[in-house]
Structures are given as structure tokens and as C-alpha cells.
Amino acid sequence: MSPLAVLLALAGYLFGGVPFGVLLTRVKGVNLFQVGSGNIGATNVVRAVGFKWGLMTWLADTLKGMTLVLVARLLGQPEAVWASTGIATVVGHCFSPYLHLRGGKGIATSLGVLLAFDWRVGCIAFALWIVVMVGCRIVSVASLAAAVTLLPLVLFLHDTPTGIVLAGALTSISVIRHKENIERLLRGEEKPFGDKSRAEQEVGARAVSGMETDDPPPPVA
């Protein structure tokens, strides 16, 4: 790899690691790690502080997936550099250097990478996510359904070795990050979006009111 390709991948990892969900919920005085699943993604932000903030998190995570891939394209780098930069960005989101390698599941960031790499693949994968989400209301099922269709989509729309590697990498990351969700699905314990246990509601209420302060989140550099 060229020095520029390495620099872009490193920049992608560092930018991908910016935990927008944590930062936005801090504005509301909420410790995101103490609400719901404790995940830093948009779904948990919705649980913690509402739809508007969850939407902002989703948009921010999607845009950070797009940004460095678009930079690589504008700099005239080969397709392999787009892909390596995108993969590094998703890895940064999932294993953030600012959260002691904790992070999200990478779905919104992966969508941003795909939109920048080949907008057709990204749009169809997102449309599939919406259809499955409307049908079952389980975020993990919609995310996994979109992830496992990436390789067929790339083979049909963008049949290059780099595209295949990118699709395989993003699918693998998604499945690994959804390991606990898959286990809950197999046990029939995964809840539809919007359904919260009484305990989760109480935790969220205490987090919003600032009552839970004994377990501060990892520092954000």
C-alpha cells in the first residue's frame, strides 16, 4: 500500500471511532452506557433521549462512513484504497480508540461506506433494511438481513474483486458485532424496537435525571 493509502486508512479508523451517540447524549446529560443495551448507536440513543437525537446520531454515523471514502475517490486513489479506507472507518466505529475499543455495531457507518463506494448497493441494502424493519420491528434482524445480502448485491451490481472483499468484510463485522443479538434471537428473547422492560425504563429515567453517576462512561479524547 502507498503511504497515502495507509494515511487514509488511519484517518478512517480515527474518524470512524468518534462516538457521536455518546457525544450527543452527553448534551442531554445522559450516560448512554447506562441506558438500554448500553450500545452507542442510534437505536440506543432513541431509547435514551428520543427519536430526534437518534436520527442525528444515525446521520452522523452514516456521514462519517462516507467522508473518507469520498476523500479517497476525490484524490484519485484506486478502488482498493476506497475499500480499505471504508473498512478501517467501520472498524473504528466498532472498536473506538476513544472508548477503550468499545463501540457500536457499524450498520449506519457501513451504509455510509457503501453509499460512497457504490450508491446503488447502499440504496438497495438500506431499502431492504427498511422493508424488514417495518415487517418485524426488530433492528438486529433488519441489520443482519441487509448485511447478508451485500455479497449478492455486489456480485450483481459491482462485480470486482475489491467490491467482493468490501462486502465480505462488512458482512463479517456486522455478524460478529451482532453475536449477542443472534443468541437472543435463537432464544426468542430479542425485543421489537420500542418495547422496553420496566427495568430498562427505570434505568433510562434515572440516567436522564442525572441520578446514576456512579459509573461514568469511558473518556472520550
Closest-CA residue to 171 (of 77, 106, 220, 99): 106
pLDDT in tens, 35-50: 887 889 999 999 899 9
Least confident of 4-8, 108-112, 188-192: 188-192
Alpha-carbon distance of 65 to 80, in angstroms, equals: 16
**pLDDT mean over 180-207:** 69
Cβ burial, residue 51 (10 Å; 0-12/13-18/19+): exposed
What is the separation of C-alpha 9 from the centre of its chain, rounded to a whole number of angstroms?
17
Q: What is the pLDDT of residue 218?
A: 46
Pick from 66-70, 136-140, 189-193, 196-200 the range whose average pLDDT is largest: 66-70
DSSP string, 188-202: T-PPPTT---HHHHH
pLDDT of residue 36: 80
- pLDDT tens-digit map of 146-192: 999 999 999 999 999 999 999 999 999 999 999 999 999 999 988 88
pLDDT at 197: 45
For the record, the C-alpha cell of 43 comes out as: 437505536
Q: What is the pLDDT of residue 186?
A: 93
pLDDT at 220 over 60: no
Residue type, 108: A
Instruction: Give pLDDT, residue 214.
Output: 40
φ/ψ (deg, to 5) at 69: -65, -40
Mean pLDDT of 48-68: 95
Residue 195: predicted pLDDT: 62
Mean of pLDDT values over 108-119: 97
Q: Which residues contact 35 (CB under 8 A, 6 or more apart)?
A: 25, 44, 47, 48, 200, 203, 204, 207
Is the entire prediction scored with pTM above 0.85? Answer: yes
pLDDT at 110 over 70: yes
Section 78-93 average pLDDT: 97
All three cell numbers of 181, joined, read 443479538
Lowest-pLDDT range of 1-10, 41-50, 196-205: 196-205
- Delimit the domains of the chain by residue range: 3-209
Cell of 60: 452522523
What does pLDDT average to over the chain? 88
Comparing CA positions, the residue from 154, 180, 142, 22 lying closest to residue 86 is 154
